[in-house]
Structure 1
Amino acid sequence: MASSTVSTKIACLILVTMLVIAPHHSAQAAIECPAVLKMVGPCLDYLKKGGDIPTECCTGVKSLDSITKTQPERQEACECIKPMADSNSINYDLANKLAPACGVDIQINITPNMDCSTVKF
């Protein structure tokens, strides 16, 4: 009977440890560039040519905003997006108008020479 009690206590300890560690681990999850690029990919034609903003674009911008709630997360997302913006010759004026047009307040000035380490939350 004593070994059953010890086993139960060990199982409870493991469960409590998992519950304590799990939220910490998920909060520290890195931003994945392929996911970021998939979210903003529908915006690319608009960012190059202008015109109407596709619904999928605003959906992606809102999703990206919802998963980047800390300064380091926004800096990581910036590092993911910057090479795509550079290689596709986007219109930076349109890029700066995109988030507000989608109802998102990112407070980031997007430029060709943007230093992602300076992105604030």
Structure 2
Amino acid sequence: MKLAMVVVLCMAMVGGRAVVEGVTCAEVIQNLTPCLNYLMQGGEPSPNCCGGVRSTLGAAASTADKQTVCNCLKDAANRFAINDNYAQALPSLCNVNVPYKISRSTNCAA
């Protein structure tokens, strides 16, 4: 009986977790850390950077996830010495389509 209860509790926790989980700022930052050199100094983004861009955009399935990614990017841009022109060029250089302008002034709620 105790084992059955443990199994049910584990299933409930896993099931509930899958529904609640979404994209987090920590994941966004982790995925895009390989892009920092490019975003601050220019040049060419690394394959790891472009992979991180793809992973981040792929994980942002819902509107809430997309807003989270947008807000995380704006926050990171304000904390680091990121060049706005490099940030705007990054999706194109990584052959990724971002449906909104990447800017510190982007309205993430729209």
TM-score bracket, normalised by the shorter chain, equals 0.7 to 0.9
- Which of 67, 75, 83 is matched with 1:91 structurally? 83
Q: Structure 2: which 5+ residue stretches go unaligned?
A: none
The runs of 5 or more residues in structure 1 that have no matched partner are: 1-10
What does residue 25 of structure 2 align with?
A: 33
Residues 1:102 and 2:102 aligned together: no
Give me the identity figure in percent.
29
Q: Does 1:66 align with 2:66?
A: no
Determine the C-alpha separation between the residues in 1 that align with 2:62 and 2:88.
20
Task: State which structure, 1 or 2, has the greater radius of gyration over its C-alpha atoms.
Answer: 1
Structure 1 residue ranges, 4+ long, deviating more than 3 angstroms after superposition: none
Amino acid at match of 2:55: S
Measure the CA separation in 1 of the matches of 2:36 and 2:58: 20
Corresponding residue of 2:73: 81
| Offset from partner CA, 1:37-78 (integer Å, 9 cap, x none) | 000111111011110111110010011111112221110111
Figure out how many residues of one structure are paired with residues of the other and give that number: 103
Aligned partners of 1:102, 1:39: CA distance in 2, in Å? 14
